[in-house]
């Protein structure tokens, strides 16, 4: 029998180790706070409930896209067709509603299923033929752009005003109902945490009530409460923001709690090890692409509702435009690794908030759109650079 | 020329050898196209013994181990488990028969912690209604039991294994192989790229597996230290067949190397 040396004994994790794991989001949060302070100083309007509500709403589409893309990035793949899926599924559902009189209640879920199906086609191509996802999804995206143009009428636009789709963007949940939504969210989180605590206690494991129960619940409740207060001071919680929040909750559950979520991380880090462990790697990869496609379609629905129609511009236009680039940038700025196996669900929110803040703040300052693109691009490079610097300084690779 | 030991003998410790080997491969043939990798290779592994498979590059030891682990199916030959004929043609066949393998690259996911790596692919989960929620607490308890049994309680279960030392990672990989109570553990180059002290810890850990009654097969190039000092029996392979068999305590590294490269000295020491 063997005993390992004292140096291997468990010890309190260093700040460097924490930065590489639990506190991975800290630099992004600090960056976001710095941006907010800057814009508060520059504009009196920035911190008003109306503007903050707008900022959240503006961040929703990119945030949802980044959330879906995360699943693909986690398995060390990339999907460059998500913006095209976003556009073509929105056009398909609009065509069904406007030209064929299909109810939005049927057309919109169909578009999500279509998005998931298109995503899984990319994955199957990657799995079977072995072509890199970068190439497959680039080609597929261009093909979908062509299909999108073919589906559009001569006017190059389907108006959705009066179809009911516009209600998604216009609906807000205010007053007591907003607080009810907050309470439901916190109750689900509490249930999840308490069931974990109960299980640990049942099998005789230690539980730190402060770290495992009080801290996550209080922090989540406080952040949620501040958001509700601010949004209620304007018009309440916009439905797209609520949809984003629900998707974040669902995504967090899947990634942190389920076998599927664990396999995404495992495959992203060492696909061969995952395969040898009996994990059906192609199947998990396909599911990740399907989720990204389906979620991109949801973002497409919200975007078409906000713009009251679909057209050539849907999905960022041909090539995905800034929508594709901002979705990738949001995920990466939030802390998702392009090399797989790393990234938490809050990355989509934080990344989208950073990009949304830059867009919103610079708009308020009257800065031109070109400058906004420059700033966003530089922030992306800065975020990844900070990540690398932390790794070098602490000697800890972030996981 | 092949020489077989009359009966395997553990170097020390409470070896629980019985006359029936845990696994027995006889006259295994395996070709890859025109390459005849195994030409009638044989090996027995008894409970409580550590068998080293050694040989030069291309001698067939890795192929034999892969046949044992179900990675390759043999073209012909007999595969018996506890005296009964067995069909082992896939890794899952081997797993079902209680044969676990620790690969040279360890097959660990660096971004996952020890518990997640130990249970990877076999997590204890709750109802499918909740998406197969992992029962982390139960996994952790079982992981602690295994680590404690292997005297590895000091290893952190919650750190990503990528942040651990080479020796600690090797220990995690070995712990994973015994988690599901196998009869035989196959280790491919377990001490490669480890410092001397870390290699000794791993060797001690491997000895503890044999002491617990498991059969252990080790492929190693570390002839002079690990193979001679830490195993019970040495099977030397050359050109796809058994070239010699030694009791480890009776030989020196030079004698083993001589047998590997085709010299005559020491070939008949076993038995």
What share of chain B has pLDDT > 70, as a percent? 90
The pLDDT of residue A394 is 65
Q: Average pLDDT of B107-111?
A: 92
Cβ-defined contact of B160 to A254 (cutoff 8 Å): no
Question: Cα separation of B235 and B42, whole Å?
Answer: 9
Q: Which residues of A touch B (CB under 8 A)?
A: 1-6, 8-10, 13, 17, 20-21, 196, 199-200, 202-205, 253-254, 257-260, 262, 265-266, 268-270, 272-274, 276-279, 341-342, 396-397, 399
Q: In what order do the strands lie in the sheet with B84-85?
A: B35-45, B23-32, B76-81, B84-85
CATH number (domain holding residue A72): 1.10.3470
Domain contains A277: yes
Residue length of chain B: 271
What pLDDT was estimated at residue A11?
53
B150 CA to chain A: closest CA distance, Å?
7
Both structure tokens of A252: 């967090």
Lowest model confidence (mean pLDDT) among A93-97, B213-217, B260-264: B260-264
Range of the domain at A292: 25-174+235-394
Give the pLDDT of chain A (399 residues) as one tens digit per residue.
333 333 344 456 666 666 666 677 888 899 999 999 999 999 999 999 999 999 999 999 999 999 999 999 999 999 999 999 999 999 999 999 999 999 999 999 999 999 999 999 999 999 998 899 999 999 999 999 999 999 999 998 999 999 999 999 999 999 999 999 999 999 999 999 999 999 999 998 988 888 889 999 999 999 999 999 999 999 999 999 999 999 999 999 999 999 999 999 999 999 999 988 889 999 999 999 999 999 999 999 999 999 999 998 888 887 777 899 999 999 999 989 888 999 999 999 999 999 999 999 999 998 888 888 888 888 888 888 887 787 777 665 655
* Other Cβ atoms closer than 10 A to B86: 17
Contact criterion met (CB < 8 Å) for A266 and B167? no
State the pLDDT at residue A379: 85
Whole-number pLDDT of residue B71 = 86
pLDDT at B157 over 60: yes
| Cβ-defined contact of B208 to A268 (cutoff 8 Å) | no
- What is the distance between the alpha carbons of residues B236 and B261, in angstroms, rounded to a whole number? 10
Number of domains in chain A: 1
User: Mean pLDDT over residues B64-72, rounded?
Assistant: 91
Measure in Å the smallest separation between the Cα of B208 and chain A Cα atoms.
5
Nearest to B109 among A4, A13, A273 (CB): A273
Q: Where are the alpha helices (DSSP H) in chain A?
A: 15-20, 26-42, 49-74, 82-98, 104-129, 133-151, 166-170, 175-202, 209, 215-234, 239-257, 259-269, 271-276, 281-306, 321-334, 346-364, 369-394
Residue A243 lies in a domain: yes
**What is this model's ipTM?**
0.88
Q: Where are the beta strands (DSSP E) in chain B?
A: 23-32, 35-45, 50-55, 76-81, 84-85, 99-102, 184-188, 215-219, 233-238, 241-247
The owner of tokens 């998406």 is B131
Instruction: Kindly indicate the confidence band of residue B9, based on its pLDDT and cuts at 50, 70 and 90.
Output: very low
Does residue A69 lie within any of the structural domains? yes
Contact B111 A341 (CB under 8 A): yes
Of the candidate ranges A7-11, A230-234, B105-109, B219-223, the one whose mean pLDDT is the lowest = A7-11
A-interface mutation test, from B104, B117, B120, B199, most A Cβ less than 10 A away: B120
Q: What is the mean pLDDT of chain B?
A: 86
Does residue A124 lie within any of the structural domains?
Answer: yes
Task: Compute the distance between CA of residue B210 and CA of residue B200 in angstroms, rounded to an integer.
Answer: 15
The average pLDDT across B167-194 equals: 89
- Looking at residue B7, its pLDDT comes to 37
Q: Does the structure show a pLDDT above 60 at B266?
A: no
Q: Would the CB atoms of B168 and A199 count as touching at under 8 Å?
A: no
pLDDT of A262 reads 97
Structure tokens at A370: 């070109």
Cα A32 off chain centre by: 17
pLDDT of residue A12: 61
pLDDT value for A8: 40
Whether residue A197 lies inside any domain: the answer is no
Q: Determine whether A375 is exposed, middle or buried from the number of CB atoms within 10 Å of its CB (0-12, 13-18, 19+).
A: middle
From the list B163, B194, B161, the residue with the least C-alpha distance to B175 is: B161
Q: Is the pLDDT of residue B12 over 50?
A: no
- Which regions of chain A does DSSP assign to beta strands (E)? 157-159, 172-173, 237-238, 309-311
Please indicate, yes or no, if residue A312 is contained in any of the structural domains: yes
* B111/A259 CB distance under 8 A: no
pLDDT score recorded for residue B2: 39
What are phi and psi for residue A146, nearest 5 degrees? -65, -45
Map out the domains of chain B with their CATH numbers: 1-110+180-271 (3.40.50.300), 112-159 (no CATH)
The bridge status of strand B184-188 relative to strand B76-81 is: unpaired
Query: Is A83 a member of any domain?
Result: yes
Between A78 and B195, name the one with better pLDDT. A78
């Amino acid at each position: 029998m063997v005993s390992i040396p004292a140096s291997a004994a468990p010890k309190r994790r260093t700040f460097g180790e924490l930065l590489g794991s639990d506190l991975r989001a800290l630099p992004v949060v600090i960056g976001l706070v710095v941006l907010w302070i800057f814009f508060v100083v520059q504009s009196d309007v920035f911190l008003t409930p109306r503007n903050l509500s707008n900022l959240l709403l503006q961040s929703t589409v990119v945030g949802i896209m980044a959330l879906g893309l995360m699943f693909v990035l986690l398995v060390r793949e990339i999907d460059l067709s998500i913006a095209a899926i976003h556009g073509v599924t929105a056009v398909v559902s609009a065509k069904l509603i406007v030209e064929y009189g299909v109810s939005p209640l049927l057309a919109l879920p169909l578009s999500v299923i279509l998005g998931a199906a298109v995503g899984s086609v990319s994955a199957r191509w990657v799995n079977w033929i072995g072509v890199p996802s970068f190439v497959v999804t680039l080609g597929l995206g261009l093909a979908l752009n062509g299909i999108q143009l073919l589906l559009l009428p001569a006017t190059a636009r389907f108006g959705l005003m009066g179809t009911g789709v516009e209600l998604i963007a216009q609906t807000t949940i205010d007053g007591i109902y907003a607080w009810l939504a907050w309470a439901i969210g916190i109750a689900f989180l509490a249930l999840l945490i308490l069931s974990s605590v109960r299980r640990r206690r049942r099998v005789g494991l230690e539980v730190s009530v402060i770290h495992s129960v009080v801290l996550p619940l209080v922090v989540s409740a406080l952040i949620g409460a501040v958001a509700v207060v601010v949004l209620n001071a304007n018009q309440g919680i916009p439905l797209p923001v609520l949809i984003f929040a629900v998707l974040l909750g669902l995504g967090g559950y899947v990634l942190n709690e389920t076998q599927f979520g664990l396999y995404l991380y495992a495959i992203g880090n060492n696909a061969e090890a995952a395969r040898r462990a009996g994990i059906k790697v192609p199947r998990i990869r396909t599911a990740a692409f399907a989720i990204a496609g389906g979620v991109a379609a949801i973002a497409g629905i919200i975007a078409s509702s906000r713009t009251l129609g679909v057209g050539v511009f849907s999905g960022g236009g041909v090539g995905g435009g800034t929508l594709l680039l901002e979705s990738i940038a949001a995920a990466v700025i939030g802390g998702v690794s392009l090399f797989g196996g790393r990234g938490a669900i809050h990355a989509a929110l934080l990344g989208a908030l950073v990009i949304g803040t830059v867009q919103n703040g610079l708009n308020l300052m009257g800065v031109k759109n070109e400058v906004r693109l420059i700033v966003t691009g530089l922030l992306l490079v800065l975020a990844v650079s900070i990540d690398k610097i932390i790794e070098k300084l602490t000697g800890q690779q972030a996981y | 020329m092949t020489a077989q030991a009359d009966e395997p003998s553990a170097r020390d410790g409470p070896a629980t050898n019985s006359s029936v080997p845990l696994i027995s491969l006889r006259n295994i043939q395996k070709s890859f196209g025109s390459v005849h990798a195994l030409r009638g290779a044989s090996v027995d592994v008894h409970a409580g013994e550590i068998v080293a498979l050694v040989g030069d590059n291309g001698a067939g030891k890795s192929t034999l181990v892969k046949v044992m682990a179900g990675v390759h199916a043999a073209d012909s030959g007999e595969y018996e488990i506890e005296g009964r004929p067995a069909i082992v043609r896939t890794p899952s066949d081997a797993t079902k028969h209680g044969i676990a393998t620790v690969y040279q690259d360890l097959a660990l996911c660096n971004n996952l912690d020890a518990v997640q790596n130990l249970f990877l692919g076999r997590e204890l989960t709750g109802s499918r209604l909740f998406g197969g929620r992992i029962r982390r607490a139960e996994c952790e308890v079982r992981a602690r039991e295994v680590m404690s049994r292997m005297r590895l309680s000091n290893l952190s279960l919650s750190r990503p294994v990528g942040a651990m030392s080479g020796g600690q990672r090797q220990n995690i990989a070995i712990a994973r192989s015994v988690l599901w109570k196998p009869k035989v553990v196959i280790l491919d180059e377990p001490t490669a790229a480890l410092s001397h002290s870390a290699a000794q810890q791993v060797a001690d850990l491997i000895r503890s597996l044999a002491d617990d009654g498991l059969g252990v097969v080790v492929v190693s190039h570390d002839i002079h230290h690990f193979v001679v000092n830490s195993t019970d029996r040495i099977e030397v392979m050359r050109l796809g067949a058994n070239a010699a068999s030694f009791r480890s305590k009776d030989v020196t590294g030079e004698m083993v190397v001589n047998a590997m490269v085709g010299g005559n000295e020491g070939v008949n020491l076993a038995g």
